[in-house]
A and B are shown apart, each in its own frame.
Chain A
């Protein structure tokens, strides 16, 4: 194997190759010392990794870029939402300001991070949209006439909308994970996903602490005896007490047959994906959580535990159907 030849060959079809690997150019020049440190057998691996890293920076697939821009559209929504709230005098009680500002800061950072990631991956970040946080959009009349007209004048309403955004954000990021399998951006996306989940739990905790609702930090089915049929409308999955956001907790309407990647399922299901026979074979069927052992019983788990212990994904089309044009005009 002649490494010099490989690099020359690549340069013939890609004149920018040296620039792509510029951080590693020194390593290429000093290929002798590079080689001496890497076992000969591992050299193809080292080269493969080097090439992969060089090109991953610039050649993300259309699907990955679409996924990142989708995430950015959600972060714009959330960042604008919290920016507006913090700038609205009289909305957030002084005692809760730092709490909300923590979330605001994260969402603003997510916007910047994703813009940079999309640019670095060779894409163009989408522009910030126009929003109606009352949820009216263009569907139910003039802007500002949605189901949450007091979103920026009543702290209870604000937190209710915030909770929905955060819970939906968690589902949306989770729905994009399969698009990013094997891509370094998967880790970043999941790291944002975890922060959105922290926000969701915190908002839920705050709503209950202030006596505005009785929700847990996790999403518990409000129906203790579901779910024999998929709860597509979300009525049995939405525990927020706000019926207008049932769809945010519902199943996929864009996926008509069960997808192994994004279950056509509501937020709270009692059968989870994947039973498997080997590490490389695609799983089939599912695991009925209700029949798993628990502390109370060797043969069953309650619906409340089964639903709260898992957060289900939602497909991009379904997230957009919920948010556009109601919130994103």
Chain B
């Protein structure tokens, strides 16, 4: 536990990442420290030790930045290897979404600067030749994104950063609705919109296991609620 706290209490991500970047043995060292402190968790190899998104507003924005990196990687692949029978309209929509996700990620990187948490995405075994599979994956990414944006908002203290997140959040909701329409399912289906007419939302701790499925280096959000 102490080792984890040591890392998490590090004042900002910059110092820690610089450490990881420049110290050749850094990753292994961190792994040993964290592994010794998490015997109750699954015994994964040191390379899978989670990187924390950090504290405060930057922690929340980094968490969202990670999501955008996953979405950008996904749609880049969708357009690079179009599924069988992709119509011109679908190509246009999906290209737009790809470009939006790419610019969202770039924007977060610009906002976060040296604190930006760059990750390596691992999309896993998605069959990019299948329309049904790709659109189902797109739906799950977009729905996850909307839920994540709304669920992390309470962690943001400065209104300016809340504006940053909300200007993007509604565009993710627009994407989600469009993907639903392409799938010919309700754009405000009961799987995503509750009995009060509210979009569902979830805090980082609930969504991290899903998010981590798509990351080579896992992330944690120990300080975000």
Contacts and interface: CB of A to CB of B under 8 A. Distances in A.
8 contacts: A109-B196, A192-B199, A198-B173, A201-B176, A217-B175, A262-B163, A293-B102, A305-B96
A249 B171 CA distance: 15
Contacts, number: 228
A207 interface: no
B contact residues, range: 35 or more
Nearest to A302: B99
B82 interface: no
A97 interface: no
B157 A181 contact: yes
Which 6 A-B pairs give the minimum distances between C-beta atoms? A109-B197, A178-B159, A197-B173, A279-B58, A194-B199, A201-B174
Interface stretch (A24-32, A62-70, A151-159, A307-315): A307-315
Given A261-B160, A276-B113, A311-B171, A201 B187 contact: yes
Contacts of A292: 103, 106-107, 110
B35 interface: no
A272 B99 contact: no
A184 B161 CA distance: 17
A192 B166 CA distance: 12
Contacts of B164: 272-274
Interface of A: 102-103, 105-110, 112-113, 170, 174, 177-178, 181-182, 184, 186-188, 190-202, 205, 216-218, 260-263, 272-280, 282-283, 287, 289, 292-295, 301-302, 305-306, 308-313
Nearest to B193: A195
Contacts of B170: 170, 174, 193-194, 196-197, 311
B3 interface: no
A309 B104 contact: yes
Contacts of A295: 76, 79, 98-99, 102
Given A218-B96, A276-B113, A311-B174, 18 more contacts: A181-B157, A191-B150, A192-B199, A193-B169, A193-B173, A195-B199, A197-B169, A197-B177, A201-B175, A260-B160, A262-B163, A272-B167, A295-B99, A301-B99, A301-B103, A305-B103, A309-B103, A313-B163
Contacts of B156: 181
A197 B99 contact: no
B59 interface: yes
A305 B100 contact: yes
Contacts of A301: 99, 103, 106
Contacts of A197: 169-171, 173-174, 177
Could you tell me the dominant secondary structure of chain B's interface residues?
helix
B217 to A, nearest CB: 21
Interface in B140-190: 146, 149-151, 153-154, 156-164, 166-178, 180-181, 186-188
B177 A282 contact: no
Nearest to A188: B198
A174 B177 contact: no
A198 B171 contact: no
A312 B164 CA distance: 9
A295 B76 CA distance: 8
A49 to B, nearest CB: 11
A308 B163 contact: no
B57 interface: yes
B134 interface: no
Interface in B98-125: 98-100, 102-104, 106-107, 110-113, 115
Contacts of A186: 153-154
B55 interface: yes
Contacts of A310: 167-168, 171
A106 B193 CA distance: 9
Contacts of A105: 197
Contacts of A191: 150, 198-201
B54 interface: yes
A195 B177 CA distance: 9
B12 A278 contact: yes
B56 interface: yes
A109 B195 CA distance: 8
Given A174-B170, A201-B177, A202-B177, A280 B163 contact: no
B102 to A, nearest CB: 6
Contact of B188 (A102, A273, A308): A102
A191 B163 CA distance: 15
B100 A308 contact: yes
B159 A198 contact: no
Residue of B98, B166, B176 with most partner-chain A CB within 10 A: B166
A102 B187 contact: yes
Contacts of B176: 198, 201
B187 A202 contact: yes
